[in-house]
Amino acid sequence: MAATLYPTDIRSTGVNWAHGVARVCSMIGPILGGELLKLEWPLQDIFLIFAAPLFVASIGILILSAVTGGRASSRSELPVGAEPGQGTDTMVTSRVGKV
């Protein structure tokens, strides 16, 4: 989804930033979980603490998909090399000629 939301000229930068943030958060999660277990927090409270960001993220994804109007899903259905609004029948004939 992230790749379709960024303009082409900065797409790699945006996607790599998203990957970097995900990597940092994936390191912080186990550390925080271990510290909470060391402090003898109840497991139910630990699960609720980790579920809250996931719930907020899912709401954010729903809002983002509503704002973009499903732009990401419509591009993924196009054949390789096709641009939005371009007929798919021309893409098939041009590929046959190149083979």
Q: In the chain, what are the domain boundaries?
A: 2-78
In our burial notation (b when 16+ CB lie closer than 10 A, e otherwise), range 37-52 reads eeeeeeeeeeeeeeee
Note the pLDDT tens digit of each residue in 36-69: 999 999 999 999 999 999 999 999 989 988 887 7
Q: What is the DSSP letter of 87?
A: -
Note the pLDDT tens digit of each residue in 23-40: 998 999 999 999 999 999
Average the pLDDT over 89-98 and give the result.
49
Alpha-carbon Rg for the chain in angstroms: 21
